[in-house]
């Protein structure tokens, strides 16, 4: 982050200094994980139900941190004591962002949606980084801790700050936007992810629209032209609205979408006032066309030309892990690791990608439980199973009893010629694959966070099962 003294930070956060030199300078990262602390860092300590991070304060200082931001003094440790470290972190991030705006040249891009946030954020960051110094959310650290910590990574050289913003209720995005008001707000879609927290799809739409409400008159809302709930958010902002999608009235539009090899897709990128360009995506899945269009819209607003955008979208190695990561093993088995997280929409996209990648090869889907669906839980899992059967998945593996309704959905499709099995846990799924995988099989691994990670890791690490 930009260099600030402990005294300045205390004043911004409304805190008191204890055992600290007010002139000591913080010029390293702000971290709430003591294992990541380094020279010049500020360590933010939270007192949790099971662990009180203030106890790691001495180690943080020994590892080079300048001070600790916490809710109580730690004897012998330079500490800024505040009532609420989380609130103080947000105040600090906003103060740093205000200073960077005063210096000029910084554009804040914020993205939200029920699915595809992290992948689209990665695309935006990759494109913009070729156009100027860019800081972006790491992985999916998109909450009230991850967002301010990402802001605090920016400095005077940063031209683009790309923030993935998540929400688990009405008001969450409004809070994040008070920390980092966007210049460009991107809303991808409205689905049923986290519906247990929101209560309804309408509640989800209300919450996601808070992002465009935060735009100032000079801002731009990039909205999905192919999602009616997102389209209607145009009425919730006085800022300029830019539609992106495949609809005929989308300003940033994909036409002539074609399937390429290994489940990838190409299309013609159309942007008003510029020559069309041919895009050949370097990621698998038909749904990636929409993600790419939203990224292209942001890049165009930053001044990039379609040909430059197309080139960037064709070179996308090294994006966030466990998201449509297609790799080949030594035994000629192809794996699609999309195990980072799951909801019905992303499951559907991944299953379609499995079919596209496999072509005529045997298709195996290893699917885990989808969390946070509330009253939609059983129906959501059955819906995924039905789609898997309708798409012709040959072998359907449900991991854990919670995921069993996936198999019920598949069994309801009378024309399905595949088969299915329920395994108790990830270890059992790995054992099943060891016994059954054949050369040229294509395996999709998908589930809510952590619920299929071990399966994906085993498929990658072992290379070829004996």
> Mean of the pLDDT values across residues 63-71?
97
> Mean of the pLDDT values across residues 337-343?
91
Residue 354 is part of which domain span?
325-462
- Where is the domain boundary, 267, 287, 313? 313
Residue 178 lies in a domain: yes
Q: Which CATH number do you get for residue 367?
A: 3.90.190.20
Whether residues 334 and 305 share a domain: the answer is: no
Residue 364 pLDDT? 98
Q: Which CATH number do you get for residue 8?
A: 3.40.1390.10
Q: Which of 173-177, 323-327, 329-333, 413-417 shows the lowest mean pLDDT across its residues?
A: 323-327
Tens of pLDDT along 264-320?
899 999 999 999 999 999 888 899 999 999 999 999 999 999 999 999 998 876 566
Whether residues 260 and 120 share a domain: the answer is: yes
Whether residues 360 and 400 share a domain: the answer is: yes
> Mean of the pLDDT values across residues 139-157?
93
pLDDT band at 262 (very low <50, low <70, confident <90, very high): confident
> Mean of the pLDDT values across residues 325-351?
93
> Mean of the pLDDT values across residues 23-34?
94
pLDDT band at 135 (very low <50, low <70, confident <90, very high): very high
* H or E element, residue 422: strand 419-423
Residue 315 pLDDT? 83
Whether residues 289 and 336 share a domain: the answer is: no
Whether residues 355 and 457 share a domain: the answer is: yes
Tens of pLDDT along 109-120?
999 998 889 889
- The whole-angstrom separation of Cα 282 and Cα 120 is 13
CA distances from 13 to 5, 97, 116 (A): 12, 14, 34
Residue 432 pLDDT? 97
Whether residues 125 and 268 share a domain: the answer is: yes
φ/ψ of residue 96, rounded to 5: -65, -45
> Mean of the pLDDT values across residues 117-142?
93
pTM (2 d.p.): 0.85
Whether residues 204 and 284 share a domain: the answer is: yes
pLDDT at 10 over 60: yes
- The whole-angstrom separation of Cα 121 and Cα 123 is 5
- The whole-angstrom separation of Cα 333 and Cα 437 is 8
Whether residues 290 and 343 share a domain: the answer is: no
Reported residue count of the chain is 466
Residue 194 pLDDT? 60
Whether residues 145 and 279 share a domain: the answer is: yes
The three-point CA angle 93-41-159 to 5° equals 45
Mean pLDDT of the chain: 93
Residue 320 lies in a domain: no
- Where is the domain boundary, 83, 118, 133? 83
Tens of pLDDT along 362-396?
999 999 999 888 888 999 999 999 999 999 999 99
Q: How many domains does the chain contain in total? A: 3
- Where is the domain boundary, 252, 282, 313? 313
Residue 323 pLDDT? 84
Number of H helices, E strands in the chain: 17, 22
CA distances from 140 to 1, 92, 93, 96, 320 (A): 20, 21, 18, 22, 9
pLDDT at 34 over 80: yes
- The whole-angstrom separation of Cα 170 and Cα 209 is 10
Residue 294 pLDDT? 98
pLDDT at 465 over 60: no
Tens of pLDDT along 178-200?
999 999 999 999 976 666 666 68
Q: Which of 356-370, 410-424, 451-465 shows the lowest mean pLDDT across its residues?
A: 451-465
Residue 195 pLDDT? 64
Residue 193 pLDDT? 63
Whether residues 301 and 241 share a domain: the answer is: yes
Residue 46 lies in a domain: yes
pLDDT band at 464 (very low <50, low <70, confident <90, very high): low
Half-sphere exposure of 363 (CA within 13 A, CB side): 22
Q: Is 372 exposed, middle or buried (0-12, 13-18, 19+ CB in 10 A)?
A: middle
- The whole-angstrom separation of Cα 101 and Cα 54 is 33
Residue 89 lies in a domain: no
pLDDT at 412 over 80: yes
């Amino acid at each position: 982050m930009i260099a600030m003294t402990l005294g300045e930070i205390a004043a911004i956060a409304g805190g008191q200094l204890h055992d600290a030199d007010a002139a000591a300078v913080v010029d390293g990262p702000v971290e709430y994980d003591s294992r990541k602390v380094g020279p010049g860092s500020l360590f933010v300590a939270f007192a949790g139900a099971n662990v009180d991070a203030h106890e790691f304060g001495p180690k943080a200082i020994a590892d080079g941190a300048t001070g600790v931001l916490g809710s109580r003094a730690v004897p012998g440790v330079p500490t800024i004591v505040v009532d609420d470290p989380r609130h103080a972190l947000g105040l600090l991030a906003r103060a740093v962002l205000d200073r960077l705006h005063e210096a000029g040249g910084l554009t804040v891009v914020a993205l939200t949606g029920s699915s595809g946030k992290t992948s689209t954020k990665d695309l935006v960051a990759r494109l913009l980084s070729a156009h100027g110094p860019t800081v972006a959310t790491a992985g999916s650290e998109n909450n009230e801790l991850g967002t301010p910590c990402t802001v605090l990574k920016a400095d005077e050289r940063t031209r683009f700050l790309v923030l993935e913003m998540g929400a688990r209720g009405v008001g969450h995005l409004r809070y994040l936007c008070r920390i980092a008001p966007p210049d460009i707000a991107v809303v991808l879609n409205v689905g049923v992810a986290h519906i247990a927290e929101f209560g309804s799809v309408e509640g989800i739409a209300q919450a996601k629209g808070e992002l465009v409400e935060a735009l100032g008159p000079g801002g731009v809302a990039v909205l999905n032209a192919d999602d009616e709930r997102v389209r209607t958010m145009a009425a919730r902002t006085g800022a300029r609205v830019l539609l992106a999608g495949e609809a005929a009235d989308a300003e940033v539009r994909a036409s002539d979408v074609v399937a390429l090899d290994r489940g990838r897709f190409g299309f013609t990128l159309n942007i008003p006032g510029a020559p069309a360009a041919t895009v050949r995506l370097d990621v698998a899945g038909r749904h990636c066309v929409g993600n790419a269009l939203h990224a292209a819209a942001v890049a165009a607003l930053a001044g990039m030309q379609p040909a430059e955008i197309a080139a960037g979208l064709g070179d996308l190695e090294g994006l966030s892990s466990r998201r449509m990561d297609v790799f080949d093993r030594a035994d000629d088995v192809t794996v699609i690791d999309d195990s980072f997280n799951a909801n019905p929409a992303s499951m559907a996209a991944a299953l379609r990608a499995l079919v596209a990648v496999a072509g005529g090869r045997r298709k195996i889907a290893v699917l885990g439980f989808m969390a946070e669906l509330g009253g939609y839980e059983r129906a959501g899992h059955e819906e995924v199973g039905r789609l898997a059967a309708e798409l012709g998945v040959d072998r359907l593996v449900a991991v854990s009893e919670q995921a069993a309704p996936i198999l019920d959905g598949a069994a309801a499709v009378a024309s399905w010629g595949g088969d299915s099995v329920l395994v108790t846990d990830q270890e059992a799924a790995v054992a099943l694959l060891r016994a059954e995988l054949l050369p040229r099989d294509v395996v999709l691994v998908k589930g809510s966070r952590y619920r299929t990670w071990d399966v994906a890791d085993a498929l990658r690490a072992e290379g070829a099962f004996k």
